[in-house]
Amino acid sequence: MSRTTIGSELGRLTALQLVEEIGPAASRGGRRSTVIDLAGRVRFVGVAIGATSVSAAVTDGRLRVLAFERTECDVRQGPEPVLELAMEQSRRLLLKLGVDRPMGAGIGMPGPVDFSRGIPVSPPIMPGWDGYPVRDVFGRQFDCPVVLDNDVNVMALGEQHAGAAGTAENFLFVKVGTGIGCGIVARGELYRGMDGCAGDIGHIPVADSGEICACGNTGCLEASFGGDALARDALAAARSGRSPLLGELLARDGTLTAAQVGEAVAAGDATSVQLVRDGGRRMGEVLAGLVSFFNPSLIVLGGGLTLLGHVLLAEIRGAIYRRSLPLATRNLPIMMSDLGPQAGVIGAARLVSEEVYAFPR
Ligand SMILES: [Zn+2]
């Protein structure tokens, strides 16, 4: 860019209070330059709607989290109550930090999203959300630009911005939660595909499962592993008496989810360990296919099921290394996310910050 273009763009960003002068640069002879930085008062809202929780954060311009809130919430309640909760969380955090108006809000949600229109499209696990104007409802509430994407994509952006994937140009972020999905970053940019559904790996068929999936097909990866599938298999093991420990946990808590399975795995329950191993192996086999196809330099695993810890990670790693060509896995770290529940909100803030700071088209 020419000096004039840069000057006028900085003028525009300054007028919008997105950047500010922070003082003179060190002198190197000649005319003194001025250092320009992201404005100190810039605040973004990041919202991560999951299948079973809603999180919100307020960040500064560098997307450091200044305040964060997470609440259990079933997304199947429909858009009005869930969005109301997300807006209430955001309002509370902004108020706490004394912010009148955020510069933008990013939102991640657990299903396919029409990125350009800011609406969810036929999300299989979210009745009532199809076509709901999520972006517009949020935009009206906070009077700022709003960007919507699916939860896996925003988590991948979060990992890229503040997590394990900071220096990786080509990586996969794999979310294993209630559902299973994959964020694809190629040459430093998120790859969404033609219609925004790239990385929907939960519905790749796995040969050894005939279970019916939420999408209506049989044998999907998500139908054999993932939060819902694991809960179903754990319940069956508890009721049939195959795992007395899962039976006890069911009697104690009235329910079995990944949390109880994790507890049983930690206690050495053989049936639970086997459930996690079987699921991890199927996941790993699908991921091995992706490694052959995409040749990433890193795979980061995130989402609720990472609480299953080392047993899951070891099985996934084993399957990938066994099934991929040595050249593709020679330098391929496979690791758990270290951002945990904040990956989504940081990524959502990153998503909208890119939009807000973009050169006008
Ligand atoms: Zn499916």
Write the DSSP string, 82-94: HHHHHHHHHHHHH
Contact (CB, 8 A) for 148 and 136: no
CA of 123 to the centre of ligand 1 (A): 12
Tens of each residue's pLDDT in the chain, 361 residues: 898 999 999 999 999 999 999 988 887 777 778 899 999 999 999 999 998 899 999 999 999 999 999 999 999 999 999 999 999 999 999 999 999 999 999 999 988 898 888 899 887 778 889 999 999 999 999 999 999 999 999 999 999 999 988 889 999 999 998 889 999 999 999 999 988 889 999 999 986 667 888 888 888 999 989 899 999 999 999 999 999 999 999 999 999 999 999 999 999 999 999 999 999 999 999 999 999 999 999 999 999 899 898 999 999 999 999 988 888 888 899 999 989 889 999 999 999 999 999 988 7
* CA of residue 222 to ligand 1 center, whole Å: 6
What's the pTM?
0.92
The CA 111 to ligand 1 mean position distance, Å, reads 12
Assign a CATH topology to domain 44-158+342-357: Nucleotidyltransferase; domain 5 (3.30.420)
The amino acid occupying position 255 is: T
Domain ranges of the chain: 3-38, 44-158+342-357, 169-337
CA of 177 to the centre of ligand 1 (A): 14
Report d(CA 180, CA 280) in Å as an integer: 12
* CA atoms within 13 A of residue 176's CA, in its CB half-sphere: 30
Give me ligand 1 centre to Cα 197, in Å.
13
Q: Is 18 helix (H, G, I), strand (E, B) or coil?
A: coil
Cα dihedral 68, 69, 73, 76 sign: negative
Cα of 221 vs centre of ligand 1, distance in Å, is 7
Find tokens 């999408």 and name the residue: 215
> Which ranges in 122-256 belong to alpha helices (H)?
134-142, 151-162, 221-224, 227-239, 244-253
User: Torsion over CA of 315, 228, 78 and 93, rounded to 10 degrees?
Assistant: -40
Query: How far away, in angstroms, is 245 Cα from ligand 1 center?
Result: 30
Question: Among 130, 129, 182, which Cα is nearest to 298's?
Answer: 182
Q: Could you tell me the distance, in angstroms and rounded to a whole number, from the CA of residue 266 to the centre of ligand 1?
A: 30
Whole-number Å distance, alpha carbon 215 to ligand 1 midpoint, is 4
Distance (angstroms) between ligand 1 centre and the Cα of 190 equals 23
Specify the CATH number for 169-337; select among 3.30.413.10, 3.30.420.40, 3.40.30.10, 3.30.450.20. Answer: 3.30.420.40
Q: How many whole angstroms from 201 Cα to the centroid of ligand 1?
A: 9
Strand (E) or helix (H) holding 13: helix 3-15
Strands 189-190 and 298-302: unpaired
71 φ/ψ angles, rounded to the nearest 5 degrees: -130, 135
